[in-house]
Amino acid sequence: MSLSRQFSKFVAKLRYEDLPPAVIDRAKGVILQGLTSALVAHDMQPSRQALALMREEEAGGAGVASAFGSGEKLTKAGAAFVNAEMLLAGGKWDTFRMLTHPGTAILPAAFVAAETSGCSGQHLITGVAAAYEVMERMASEFIPTVMSRGFHAGPVFGIFGAAVAAAKIGNLNADQINSAIAQCVNLASGNLEGIRSGGKSLREGAAVRNALLAVAMARHGTPGGETTLEGEAGFYHAYTGNNRGELRYSFTGDNRTDLAAITKDLGKNWIFLETLYRIYSTAGFNIAHVDVTAALCAEHNLTYADIDRIEAVVNWFETEYPSPAFPLPGSDGKARVGATQYFAAYGAVTRGYPLLRGAGPGPGESDPPEVLDLMHRVTLIPMVRRTLFGPRITIFTIDGRSLTREGTGREFIWNFEEHARRMSPVRDGLAISARQYDALVDTCRHLDTTDNAAAKLIALTVPA
């Protein structure tokens, strides 16, 4: 059975009752994370621009799906595009293997399908869980190689997650889901050169629009093919250079994987549970530098005045963003505002980083002078097989001590209640009231007992 057939059979048969409690909990968490990111971006220029673009492009459109934050009715593709752009602009993404952010594609598609069908919260959770599992299994070992060929792994793999979410929530059968996956192979896209040359690349917003097209084609009977993923001219050949599992780069240093492993123990071992939350609005590999350094300082009661210098051993991919083959012009290892050294210094000086702040100071904001000084005494040491998002932080004190804390790579993987607690500081800085945000959190918490779930959640993103 082909990879796409195995996936489509799994998705079509999956029921809410089949989901382990931890998977249900994580699905609620990623939904809350995505909606929070959209709320943070409510008044940001990219959100306004996306909404204006869709108003202009879709004048006279059907208006059957809603944009987050405004509740404005657009076509399904238009609403999905706006919502994806809002999730991206807000910066509160979920992250899988550093270079993909599944929720920015999956959730806009899931909400369009759930809103237009009026489905229950249980069905929404099931569609979201299925989508994350398929996308992340497809992407897991191949992300660095895909990036090294000039593609952006986020939208390239995100289209499959978005399509699976829409197809499952839309009750497509296994044959139709197989066809939707196959059409995603034709529609997948995303490139790195724009962001390397001063531009802004179109990412998950395009992926989710194309995913909805793939699902519509499948629903109306367009066949997709049988071996579109692993075939001789299929997806993996096109995007990784071969269909034999040979890797140009990998996070672990291995140069080969087995395509058959993509679907091994599907429905038993949930890779979805490896998804972590990027609560600080910066590159995902920076977030652990804040918390691991802060925890080390708290453990030993260290202040800025105690610190001589800091060393951080990191996975080498975290110093060559977005790919060692095509690093950004600023990936030179020098300390600057927004660089990894800056966030390590922030963790040491302030024991955290503001959740409503971007990757650097915004209008009217400034940095503590201690942060700007200390970041020049932070050294990054790349290592090939180091755990992603798991830096080994060593602080050298002025009195001659050296103190070390190991990151695990799982510092930002929490259950729903811990996630809600960690996100709570944003509630007083959103366009909606703190009370309304609390209602949004509670609706996510009890999503499996909620009818017409998407409409209720979207309504809670609109300021009263």
Strand-pair partners of 74: 65
Q: Please state, in angstroms and rounded to a whole number, the distance separating the CA atoms of residues 324 and 340.
A: 17
> Under a CB-based contact definition with an 8 Å cutoff, are residues 229 and 156 in contact?
no
Among residues 133, 155, 281, which one has the least CA distance to residue 208? 155
Question: What sign for the dihedral angle of Cα 155, 161, 163, 169?
Answer: negative
| Residue 356 in tokens | 């409503």
Q: Where in the chain are all domains bearing CATH 3.30.1330.120?
A: 284-406
Residue 193 C-beta-side C-alpha neighbours within 13 Å = 3
Question: pTM value?
Answer: 0.97
Q: Are 121 and 447 in contact (CB under 8 A)?
A: yes
Instruction: Report pLDDT for 402.
Output: 98
The CATH 1.10.4100.10 portion of the chain extends over 3-277
Under CATH, what is the fold of the domain 284-406?
A: 60s Ribosomal Protein L30; Chain: A; (3.30.1330)
The pLDDT value recorded for residue 196 is 86
Instruction: Give the pLDDT of residue 62.
Output: 75
pLDDT along the chain (464 residues), means of 10: 97 98 98 98 95 90 91 96 97 95 98 98 98 98 96 97 98 98 97 88 93 98 96 97 96 92 97 97 94 98 98 95 88 90 98 93 94 98 94 98 96 97 95 97 98 98 95
Superfamily holding 3-277: 2-methylcitrate dehydratase PrpD (1.10.4100.10)
pLDDT on residue 415 = 97
Predicted pLDDT at 329: 79
